[in-house]
Chains A and B, each alone.
Chain A
Amino acid sequence: MNDSLISTPGAVADGTWPRFTRAVLGHRGLALGAAIVTLLLLAALLAPWLAPHDPYLQNTANRMVLPVWHEAGSWEHPLGTDRLGRDYLSRLIYGTRISLFIGLVAALISGLIGSTLGVLAGYFGGRVDAVISYLLTTRLAMPVVLVALAMASLIGGSLITVTLLLGLLLWDRFAVVARSATLQLRDAEYVQAARALGCPLHHILLREVLPNIAAALIVVATLEVANAILLEATLSFLGMGVQPPLPSWGLMIAEGKSYMFFQPWVIAIPGSALFVLVLAINLLGDGLRDISAPGGRNE
């Protein structure tokens, strides 16, 4: 029976949206991250209307046109064209689709796998936990990039392969977080009360446990989206990821690398885009973690 005045209930735990919105806007990093991610999501969705040119249209007469800030540049191709004369801005915008698609779908798949395993391990404990923990250790012992490279070279890289591979490889953090969060909730009195009522297992796991660990999982998810986007770029850069002519940012960097000493913008542009997206997602994730932590963030 302490004075419980210092700890105001967490914004999200309260379940009221105005509070949540206020918390988001009150957190500078979170607001900035959310704004950039929203903009890029819009760019991805509206790509056909935003892109000035067809990203696949080659024009050998217009190869390596300089971006608009160079003297030779023009507004016809604001970010110039690549070595096949394709409009760089259009490819960049369409590239957002690839990055976000892979990031979101891979995180979704790994989130489903990891959360399920983690919740089961945490809730049942004992032998179930031992088996799942063994799986987890095995997974942690595998170097993601090497395994992904090997698998991709075996199956052949493509958008779907990369997405599935990353989805199947990145579930470890979800499992760790879901397991420890569930472990804490397992003995919560409301879970006990639901068990005493004879609630079916799926009700207890989906209705009593999951909503209360969701905040932690969403934070992991944002970080895994960023992780997957970077890994996709890595794999594409190494030639084992998304295959040409798809406009992946990693692929754009790879295609531009032979020009980078004379035309550094060729890799600077997709590189910056990648940097901004990953930074924004990480800001979003960190911010969400701050505002969902009990007792609010530290100032």
Chain B
Amino acid sequence: MMLATEPTQVPSAGGEQPCALELRALSKSFTLGSGLLRKGRKLHAVSEVSLRVPRGQVMGLVGESGCGKSTLAKMLLGLTSPTAGEVLVDGRPIAGANQKALARHIQPIFQDPYSSLNPRQRIAQIVGLPLRVHGIGSPKEQAARVAEMLDLVGLPGRAARQYPGQLSGGQRQRVAIARALIMRPALVICDEPTSALDVSVQAQILNLLLDLKEAFGLTYLFISHDLAVVEHLADRLAVMYLGRIVEEGSREQIFGAPRHPYTRALLASALTPEPGLGVPDIGLGCGQPDPSAPPSGCAFHPRCPLAEANCERHRPSLNDAEGGGRVACHLA
């Protein structure tokens, strides 16, 4: 299970074990509205994102719609190629590797269990597809592994013969998890895996993800906008705003002492079920940013309650912060 290309060099210093996943200044831009005759505008969906995910950990990636987290996930899965920067899996760049080799290391779990399963295929076909595509085992062995996998994710054996339309949302998400894990990848990209589910089912799926992580020693990149879920699951957290990471740190750092004003606003706007607290005033103004025309300087400055003149002119870089973690704010 090696990627096609050999490691170019050992990342970071000093004989450290390579991370399960490392992003180096990863960027992706799209051209909007270009036609035969006109040149479109550039949309920087992801800009210079650097991130290290240690093996066996859950890295939470938080941000609002349009912050680039889904584009980031697509680049990691090899579904779209970065404009600049590189992705390293187990210390090896994925740029030259073929999709099949990559697929054995990274698998996705998507948000919407209604669109992530082909409605015309039976569950056994869907879950067994990775084995067939990669030519692993005889048809008999494949069937046995599918049955074992369905059992692991808590689906009854009869589900194998059913179609996605006959299953509930939670069951479908279990199928998606079984498909992602049947080849035992080391790294799973969970793209909002519970946000389309009912709360009572969400807990079942989160428990399952935690159990499977223990059982297989998985590393998760967990993308979500639900801070309560991320706080429950993640060891480390990265907060994105308009394509850039604005703060990164351990769970305790982010939730205990957030340093970026955007992180603080996000935490304040998470509504925990505690009556009597009312809805907090997060003081962000009512403008929503346009990703295709990001503000100058610090992209957050038009909404930031602490913004100064400097914030408008210079973009803060993501620097190591006191007490661990990184933050991109002039005032932190």
Interface residues of A (CB under 8 A from B): 1, 9, 13-16, 130, 188-190, 192-200, 203, 207-208, 211-212
Contacts and interface: CB of A to CB of B under 8 A. Distances in A.
Nearest to A190: B118
B165 A190 contact: no
A193 B166 CA distance: 20
Contacts of A208: 118
A192 B165 contact: no
A13 B164 CA distance: 10
B99 A189 contact: no
- By size class, the interface of chain B is 35 or more
Interface string B86-129: 00000000000011111100111011100111111100001001
A214 B115 CA distance: 17
B129 to A, nearest CB: 7
Contacts of B99: 195-198
B90 to A, nearest CB: 17
B77 interface: yes
Contacts of B179: 193
Contact of A196 (B101, B107, B115): B107
A194 B107 contact: no
A188 B115 contact: yes
A211 B120 contact: yes
Given A1-B198, A14-B165, A196-B77, A189 B116 contact: yes
A118 to B, nearest CB: 18
A97 to B, nearest CB: 34
B163 A190 contact: no
9 closest cross-chain pairs (CB), A and B: A198-B100, A189-B116, A198-B99, A211-B120, A189-B110, A198-B103, A196-B77, A190-B118, A15-B163
13 contacts: A1-B198, A13-B165, A15-B119, A15-B120, A16-B163, A189-B110, A190-B118, A192-B108, A194-B129, A196-B103, A198-B98, A198-B134, A203-B133
Contacts of B129: 194, 197, 199
B112 A189 contact: yes
B108 A193 contact: yes
A258 to B, nearest CB: 54
Nearest to B162: A15
Given A13-B119, A196-B78, A196-B79, A189 B111 contact: yes
B51 interface: no
A212 B120 contact: yes
Which of A15, A190, A195, A198 has the most CB atoms of chain B within a 10 A radius of its CB? A190
B130 interface: yes
Given A196-B108, A198-B98, A212 B103 contact: no
Contacts of B121: 207, 211
A9 B107 CA distance: 29
Contacts of B198: 1
B166 A195 contact: no
A196 B104 CA distance: 10
